[in-house]
Structure 1
Amino acid sequence: MSVPTVTKFIGEMCEDGYINDYGKLETSGGRHPNLYGLNPGSGYFIGVDIKRFAVNIGLINFKGEMVELKMNIPINLKTLQRG
């Protein structure tokens, strides 16, 4: 991709809140690069582990950090099949 295209996409992702602009990196010479990183709150992944009598659910943010974990949530499969 060309530099203008990448610059445009990065600008759009910053405006939409997917990435954060962390400013410029101080270097000893040459042009100072801009630093960008993922906005951890801009997307989440949910993992579900279904056991015989319980369910485990985990919520992970866009940077792979565990946000919340609920373990051993009781379930009754016979009740679920009727409803």
Structure 2
Amino acid sequence: MTALFNFQSLLMVILLTICTSTYAHYVFPGIIDRNKENYVVGVFWKCARVGERLSPYVSLACLIMAGSVFMGQW
């Protein structure tokens, strides 16, 4: 099953995109800020903004997702 048809996998992909974009913006701020008007890279800029401004909620969602994946394997 792909991540588009499984809701939990889709949420995991979205969370990983937010976390990766935030880290990439922290390490290379010029690349993401310069291309924020571009449609493809603009999505990563928006995800980086969500990760920066809502970081406590994103981290809580990552912990919940990790717990659900860990508990699902037992």
- So what's the TM-score if we normalise by structure 2? 0.28
- So what's the TM-score if we normalise by structure 1? 0.26
Largest Rg, 1 or 2:
1
Higher strand proportion (structure 1 or 2):
1
Bigger relative contact order, structure 1 or 2, given CA contacts below 8 A and separation 6+?
2
